[in-house]
Structure 1
Amino acid sequence: MTLFNLIIVALVQGVTEFLPVSSSGHLILLPSLTGMNDQGQVIDVAVHVGSLVAVVMYFWTDVRMALHGLKRLAVGKVDTDGAILAFCLCLSTLPVAVAGLIIAVAGWEEHLRSVALIGWTMLIFGVVLYWADRTGPNAKTSAHWTAKDAVVMGLWQVLALLPGTSRSGITITGARRLGYKREDAARLGMLMSIPTILASGFLVGGEVFATANVETARAGAIAAVFSFIAALVALMLMMRLLRSVSFTPYVIYRIALGLVLLVIAYS
């Protein structure tokens, strides 16, 4: 890939990873709609690493608390805020980890990369996000996260394995239906992305980077840096905007893009 194409891929991933508009859907569509060569798994993993570092940095206070909680969890104690957070994050990751492993073993990934599927998931789950955001009560904060809610949100997250659904979008949808305030729903969705990205990275990252040459590794490093910058900026803007704005602008974008993709797919 040229440096320009590499930067474009990194920026698309970084900007869309934590917005409820589906980063995987955009990455799949990028070569299909622009004629660019597919970026390949090395770049895919690299840009996800960059966005992972961004979310860890932004929510470092919560991440540090969860890491301390893991120590308590390791000895079978869930008696601190950090241990509860770590326990809930583990519970919320289990459903998508199991479902993702099944899809990988069955070899279904290539069947989930069609423009038509992404168009439908963009459209349908955009409408679902709007419904959840409009009807969900603003009663809970992230401090009220329970094991039951973590499991429910984890089941919602399984739907993100369909490209175009959006991991952040579907977890926010689940959180809003459970009654979490917009900013807190986004916070929980972002925190849930950390173990999920780590799990998917371990699943494919080792094999991918073991076969990468020096040139590919250098390209991956460049992509990771630009993805990190874009993700951090997008995350900061979204969390700030959610204090006064709903998810409707993202819903409008999803519906518009979904309709365009369906026209392309069926024309």
Structure 2
Amino acid sequence: MDAIQIIVLSLVQGLTEFLPISSSAHLILPAQLLDWPDQGIAFDAAVHIGTLAAVMLYFRKDIWLLIRDWTLSLAGKGTTQHSKMAWYVGLATFPAVIFGFWMKATGVDEMLRSTTVIMITTLLFGALMGVADYFGKRKIPLEKINLKTAMMIGFAQAISLIPGTSRSGITITAALMLGFKREAAARFSFLLSIPVTLGASLLVILDLIKSTEVIMWGELVSGALLSGISAMLCIHFFLGMISRMGLMPFVVYRLLLGLALLYFI
């Protein structure tokens, strides 16, 4: 890849990872629409590591409390809201892990990297997000989450492995349908992104280490840094915006993008 492609794709990843518009779709589409060489799974993993670092840095206080109280609960020193949340995040990650391994083992993940699939999922889940944002009761705070609702959001996250679905979009949609407040839905979505992104990135890194092909580590490191910086800014502004404006601007964007893709197919 040349410098322009690296910069564009890195910034796109950082700005779209936590917006409900599908970062995977925006990483795949430039290569197909602008006739760029596909950046491949390795670069996708690198920029995801950048956004992972951003969300862990932004929520560092929350993460510390989750890990601390979870560890204390394992030692038999009682349970807290934070220890419960840690269990919920961990258990809700399993559906995506299982679905991800199945997709990788069967080659479905590569088969789904197409403009047609992205067009369908962009329109379908964009419309569903609009329904959830408009009709959702938006009354339940994050402190009221339980294992059942966490697992339901976790199953929604598994579907997001299909390009164009949007991990944040479908998890926030599921949370809104369950009655959670917008900011609560977004915060749980961000926390839920950490283990699944970390696990997927580690697997790709292990594959790269074992590979005999030449790895352009400079491209990967540059992509990770740029995506991480832009993701930090995105998280900050998105959390403030979602409580005021809701998801309708993103619904409109997704529907327009889906229709535009339908024209190009």
Give 2:29's aligned residue. Answer: 29
CA deviation after TM superposition for structure 1 residue 126, in Å: 0.4
Name the amino acid aligned to 2:38. D
Structure 2 CA distance for aligned equivalents of residues 152 and 77 of structure 1: 29
Paired residues of 1:11 and 1:227 also in contact (CA < 8 A): yes
Give 1:82's aligned residue. Answer: 82
The answer as to 2:64 corresponding to 1:64 is yes
CA deviation after TM superposition for structure 1 residue 215, in Å: 6.7
- 1:1-267 matches, within 5 Å, as 1-75=1-75, 79-211=79-211, 216-265=216-265
- Please, which runs of 5 or more residues in structure 2 have no aligned partner? none
Structure 2 CA distance for aligned equivalents of residues 77 and 47 of structure 1: 39
Name the amino acid aligned to 2:175. A
Paired residues of 2:157 and 2:167 also in contact (CA < 8 A): yes
Name the amino acid aligned to 1:30. P
CA 179–77 in structure 1, closer or farther in 2 if over 3 Å, else same: farther
String of CA shifts for 1:65-114, please: whole Å, max 9, x gaps. 12213313544776122211110001110111111111111111122111
Name whichever of 197-206 and 77-86 sits farther off.
77-86
Structure 1 CA distance for aligned equivalents of residues 203 and 98 of structure 2: 12
CA deviation after TM superposition for structure 1 residue 236, in Å: 1.1
Query: What TM-score results when the alignment is normalised by the length of structure 1?
Result: 0.94
Structure 1 CA distance for aligned equivalents of residues 139 and 232 of structure 2: 28
CA deviation after TM superposition for structure 1 residue 179, in Å: 0.8
Specify the SS of the correspondent of 1:242: helix
Structure 2 CA distance for aligned equivalents of residues 132 and 34 of structure 1: 34
CA deviation after TM superposition for structure 1 residue 233, in Å: 1.0
Paired residues of 1:92 and 1:150 also in contact (CA < 8 A): yes
CA 212–63 in structure 1, closer or farther in 2 if over 3 Å, else same: farther
Paired residues of 1:137 and 1:179 also in contact (CA < 8 A): yes
CA 212–21 in structure 1, closer or farther in 2 if over 3 Å, else same: farther
Specify the SS of the correspondent of 1:244: helix
- The number of residues matched between the two structures is 265
Moved over 3 A (4+): 72-78, 209-215
CA 66–212 in structure 1, closer or farther in 2 if over 3 Å, else same: farther
Q: How large is the Cα RMSD of the aligned pairs?
A: 1.7
Paired residues of 1:73 and 1:83 also in contact (CA < 8 A): yes
CA deviation after TM superposition for structure 1 residue 138, in Å: 1.6
String of CA shifts for 1:25-68, please: whole Å, max 9, x gaps. 11111200111111122211110010001111111121111221
CA deviation after TM superposition for structure 1 residue 241, in Å: 0.8
Name the amino acid aligned to 1:46. A
Name the amino acid aligned to 1:20. P
Name the amino acid aligned to 1:241. M
Structure 1 CA distance for aligned equivalents of residues 213 and 159 of structure 2: 34
Name the amino acid aligned to 2:133. D
Paired residues of 2:182 and 2:242 also in contact (CA < 8 A): yes
Structure 2 CA distance for aligned equivalents of residues 262 and 225 of structure 1: 33
Name the amino acid aligned to 1:152. M
